[in-house]
Amino acid sequence: MKLLYFAWMKAAIGHGEEIVDLPEGIATVGQLVEWLVARGDGYARAFRNIKVVRAAINQQFVTLEAPLAGATEIAFFPPVTGG
């Protein structure tokens, strides 16, 4: 599965994308986040305030409860402002 990280999340983790093989039992975006946080300090920093992080599966925004079945790409975004 391809994971993408943007903006300060990318900086905290140290890279903007990676390919991972998920362990058994990871079925939702929220479970994926928990697994990532356990992988190291950079991930823990990036997901420290999960309430402000947006997630997308195959380029469609989803909630943390969204199932990963059929997902090929998961992207994580911090809040975005514009003008």
**Are 29 and 64 contacting, i.e. CB atoms less than 8 angstroms apart?**
yes
Model confidence over 20-79: pLDDT tens digits?
999 999 999 999 999 999 999 999 999 999 999 999 999 999 999 999 999 999 999 987
- Domain boundaries along the sequence of the chain: 2-77
φ, ψ of residue 30 in degrees (nearest 5) = -60, -40
Q: What is the CATH number of domain 2-77?
A: 3.10.20.30
Helix, strand, or coil (residue 57): strand
The pLDDT of residue 82? 56
Alpha-carbon distance values, 77 to 24, 48, 58 (Å): 25, 13, 14
